[in-house]
Structure 1
């Protein structure tokens, strides 16, 4: 066995999880953001994030969760208590390298119901463990996996408005920052108004990738009407038009839609992808780290999608810097060559980061190559940003 390999194994073999600390922090917001389910951020305000620090020996790793009740059922309070009272205590004393064993322990304390069972909370701890193991070994997450097919990922700019004029202004802002690709949030207004908005985006960005996201906000008839009206616009995907559990309806929509159907909220767990495939309910699988409970299960889902011959697109949950970096590692591992929706920087300040964080230039993000996730956390800043969530 090579000497460096033996030393790496020695460094991890006796490294056990000693502490799992949870922090609720308030971060400044940059702009308003709404989806079909409701408001995600408000302009010039703050938003709550849950940060997790996992400690083992001389090493520590960090992860984050994005409470988004407008999108899924987990709140800041539920994420905090789930980690603090259930997930954290369940893994103290467990080997840090055994990520699969951690996932199994998670399911013994917060099991799956209709969904994966507290995926945002599980994801935050999963990210922290990937970060910790990478830092302990001195390698990035991609090197840890032995899988990185790209060194950079193109980003898409989010358009979330209520009129063609608002859409034009959003595209102009994105283009000023070097972005070429755009994702339009739909399902909040009349179909005619949203059609006009999507067409306005295409007129302003004739050569960029354009996709739309319904966030479960449509009926079958409404989604089909919009899809048929957009057949000539060059939309590459209609993301999650129907409710997540309506796989039969999504199958009927896919059969009739001239626009490829992509699923996000429907794919909480890799087994959900199996069910969707059996019903011919999708053309494209959306990879989203927090939705699927972290990097471990997200890799399984992406691998299954790739093996099944599906397209894969990438998305985030208005993640700040830790989640942003984690998503880039996942998307780079599978060589995603389409623009991805990692929109956290568009709406939220990652005030807890030491240094500049992930490098983004002209709408292209460089996949971090520093150890772990590749983002350094300023623990003093975390302490200053923290607040008592239950006061």
Structure 2
């Protein structure tokens, strides 16, 4: 694909953010999904996503936020109010191309504290601005960045089941759809039962790549016990075994675990990774766009991991197709060609998409080549799917006790 000419880059240079809109959409849920923190999706109940539309000079970009209270503190309502009342007003009139300055503005408006500070809300605008920039000059994000190493990325099928029999059925379903790698959610039960789930996956898929994710469920002694058994089952990585802020515990675990320790929730900001690198407490860094406040900071974190000799793996937040595409562009830029956890297609339908979107075939996703994210949004569908989550419910009247 040709490099954009000066007339196109000049057009981008003149764009300023004119409007930021949020839409809470309810998407169909295909399968139920649980993690150690609680329920992520329930079949038969809609899954809510916050879509963000940014407009600059007649060009539109779209982003996505995935509320997951069972995983982190941001709710659907808090994401909407954070964007509408704090982030959006702060970026109106800002140059749409200056993502570094906008990231700094976000940090002033909603400060980081110990963590990044409302990363999922910030991520939605950052993704939308990337989409807008690519569309303004007619190129995909890889061309915009000058960094695209792979064109297809293998996906992992997620195993989140409550019995070994259900685990085996899920593996069979994934195999039938062309998946050859499996990520097992553990920490949902007692240790023996967690290990029985992993053993059931290994029996059903004896040659598959398998990694496990505990979502902060264990303490150090428990995690070491689990890790020794995982090594016998040829598990490739042990993701986030301990609470995110247990730095000393993660350092001890990394020193003694026979399975590489991968960090996810611990890595909100690039500076978090820098700390774990200095302490020699990380084997694998998980790249996750929404967790790290968007593509701008995620690229910084991935570059730091690469320069520090830390292996990268990829993950998402059960994103619909906008977030799915953003992650694929990031992983492609850094050549992450091992199976990644981008599980949105497994659990929800992106009912707002019109025209081009991400192609998934035989357990692999093609990195989009259209402008921006490469996902066409049907705004009429977005508006039809949208709900008002901030409308106050009528007060509940409590009848007086008898005799009063």
Superposition TM-score tier, normalisation by shorter sequence: over 0.9
Matches for 1:48-87 after TM superposition, within 5 Å: 48-87=48-87
Q: Which moved more, 1:370-379 or 1:274-283?
A: 274-283
SS in 2 for 1:258: coil
- State the distance in 2 between where 1:154 and 1:144 align: 23
**Partner of residue 386, structure 1:** 386
**Partner of residue 401, structure 2:** none
- State the distance in 1 between where 2:9 and 2:64 align: 27
Q: Contact between 2:4 and 2:137, CA under 8 Å: does it hold in 1?
A: no
1:138-184: per-residue Cα shift (whole Å, max 9, x none)?
Answer: 00001100000000000000000122111101101101110000000
Structure 2: unaligned runs, 5 residues or longer? 392-404
Q: Contact between 1:69 and 1:75, CA under 8 Å: does it hold in 2?
A: yes
**Partner of residue 191, structure 1:** 191
- State the distance in 2 between where 1:14 and 1:333 align: 27
Closer, same or farther: CA 354–258 of 1 in aligned 2, 3 Å: same
**Partner of residue 164, structure 2:** 164
**Partner of residue 243, structure 2:** 243
SS in 2 for 1:354: coil
Q: CA deviation at 1:230?
A: 1.7
Q: Contact between 1:162 and 1:194, CA under 8 Å: does it hold in 2?
A: no
- State the distance in 1 between where 2:108 and 2:198 align: 45
Q: Which moved more, 1:187-196 or 1:263-272?
A: 187-196
Given the two structures, how large is their TM-score scaled by the length of structure 2? 0.95
Matches for 1:288-299 after TM superposition, within 5 Å: 288-299=288-299
Q: CA deviation at 1:279?
A: 2.0
Matched, 1:20 2:27: no
Q: Contact between 2:87 and 2:109, CA under 8 Å: does it hold in 1?
A: yes
SS in 1 for 2:174: helix
Q: Which moved more, 1:209-218 or 1:354-363?
A: 354-363
Closer, same or farther: CA 3–310 of 1 in aligned 2, 3 Å: closer
Given the two structures, how large is their TM-score scaled by the length of structure 1? 0.98
Q: Contact between 1:49 and 1:76, CA under 8 Å: does it hold in 2?
A: yes
- State the distance in 1 between where 2:9 and 2:364 align: 35
1:245-303: per-residue Cα shift (whole Å, max 9, x none)?
Answer: 00110010111110100000000000000111122221000000000000000000000
**Partner of residue 37, structure 2:** 37
Q: CA deviation at 1:103?
A: 0.4
**Partner of residue 336, structure 1:** 336
Q: CA deviation at 1:6?
A: 2.0
Matches for 1:1-391 after TM superposition, within 5 Å: 5-355=5-355, 357-391=357-391
Q: Contact between 2:356 and 2:376, CA under 8 Å: does it hold in 1?
A: no
- State the distance in 1 between where 2:118 and 2:65 align: 11
Q: CA deviation at 1:355?
A: 2.7
SS in 1 for 2:387: coil
Q: CA deviation at 1:357?
A: 1.9
- State the distance in 1 between where 2:196 and 2:37 align: 21
Bigger CA radius of gyration: 2
Structure 1: unaligned runs, 5 residues or longer? none
- State the distance in 2 between where 1:224 and 1:3 align: 50
Q: Contact between 2:181 and 2:339, CA under 8 Å: does it hold in 1?
A: yes
- State the distance in 1 between where 2:306 and 2:265 align: 19
Q: Contact between 2:16 and 2:93, CA under 8 Å: does it hold in 1?
A: yes
Q: CA deviation at 1:3?
A: 11
Q: CA deviation at 1:5?
A: 3.0
Q: CA deviation at 1:195?
A: 1.0
Q: CA deviation at 1:383?
A: 0.6
SS in 1 for 2:255: helix
Q: Which moved more, 1:355-364 or 1:4-13?
A: 4-13
- State the distance in 2 between where 1:134 and 1:9 align: 10
- State the distance in 2 between where 1:108 and 1:282 align: 29
Q: Contact between 1:240 and 1:261, CA under 8 Å: does it hold in 2?
A: yes
Q: Contact between 2:264 and 2:285, CA under 8 Å: does it hold in 1?
A: yes
